[in-house]
Amino acid sequence: MVGRNLRGSYSMIVMAVVVCCNIFAGYHREAYSEQLFGVNLSGAEWGNRYPGTFGTDYTYPIASELDYYKSKGLTLIRLPFLWERVQSTLHGNLNSVEIGRIQSIVSAAASRGMYVVLDAHNYGRYGLGTFKDVPFHGNIIGSSGVPASAFADFWTKMAATFKGSAGVFGYDLSNEPHDMNGLWAEDAQAAINGIRSVDAETKIIVEGDGWSGAQYWASNNPNFPLNDPYNHIVYEAHLYFGSNSSGNYTQSYDAQGAYPTIGVDRVMPFIEWLASHRVGGYVGEYGVPHSDARWFTVLDNFLNTLKNHNVSGTYWAGGPLWNWCSDTLAAEPCNGKDAPQMPTLMKYPSAAAAPEGGTIAAPASVTTATGADLEACRATP
């Protein structure tokens, strides 16, 4: 995403938005029975070979990860996977082995009182082969190479497979569509129509064009909201806090122009849009590096804003292929120690997961990283 410094640009409307959201009190509650926070468990979308080989190019989360994040009060799991791995021929049958892997995670989550967002992590595209630049792989949905009817066919078959599954929170149509040539709203509507032909109940999660960026949501998606006869659409934005909003954080906190409420300023346009249209919202990706503790204040202020507006969220990211020692954004524990971001994330458990008093105890085998641990991690090649 192309970012810009939004310091103070929305600070003057915060009070007005609060009033607006109070006027529409309950509009998020229509979309959610409870406010949920959680984490992306990345791994099944990895690799640049599509479809690729399980165990070599990609993998799926394991049950112990579900137990770990539930112990932190984080009960919403966004599960990225690739369309090409589930349906390797457009309009073809779904891959029963791949579906079985996903169903196993959904069942494991349901047995733990957790929920899974089924995220087709495809950037508004579909392609088979090896790609150097995965976010731009293949052909865009709605083009002659990948017609909207193929997209609708995929999600109709997915909905027929997963409808009624207790662990499914919703169908996330496509991760971060971008440069869609004005086709995305029509594509998403085709998928919605297909899903609703077989499943009237499950939430349909629609991300926005422009990498689903929260701060430019309205201008990038002028044809939203879309139509759902059952009124179960949830709109999903993504948000990172660096200078270019990409999540790379290649510069220092100061060099990127960060400040404590930068996340609040960037998410408010999305929250204001939700309120004005009386629709449900969710922030599917956000994350901060552990390189500077000031980022944790940014994260805290941002999550508090989501909490106050009853918007759910999932942190980027955990998953079996990385941990906080190897990736500065990762929430996955390393050497038996929690990621430095975890104390902040634990302040915002899912509503139904918080015991009386509002805190979640860490398992005895995992402790929070100390300053010495962090320095040792930074020194690791």
Cite the active site residues.
Answer: 176, 285
- State how far the Cα of 103 lies from the Cα of 99, in Å rounded to an integer: 6
Three-class HEC string of 300-341: HHHHHHHHHCCCEEEEEEECCCCCCCCCCCCCCCECCEECCC
Give the separation between CA 370 and CA 118, rounded to whole angstroms: 35
219 by Cβ neighbours in 10 Å (0-12 / 13-18 / 19+) ranks as exposed
- Residue 362, Cβ neighbours under 10 Å: how many? 17
**Six token digits for residue 142:** 């709605």
d(CA 304, CA 313) in angstroms, rounded, equals 11
Phi, psi of 294 (to 5 degrees): -65, -25
Q: Are strands 49-50 and 37-41 parallel, antiparallel or unpaired?
A: unpaired
**Which residues, at least 6 apart from 237, have a Cβ–Cβ distance to it below 8 Å?**
207, 208, 212, 213, 214, 217, 267, 270, 281, 282, 283, 284
- Joined tokens for residue 186: 């029509």
Q: On the CB side of 322, how many CA atoms lie within 13 Å of its CA?
A: 18
Angle, vertex CA 244, rays to CA 263 and CA 346, nearest 5: 35
DSSP, res 273 = H
Non-local (6+) Cβ contacts of 149 within 8 A are 91, 190
Residues 6+ positions from 224 with CB-CB distance below 8 Å: 185, 206, 208, 235, 277
Q: What's CA 115's distance to the chain center, in Å?
A: 13
What single-letter amino acid sits at 73?
G
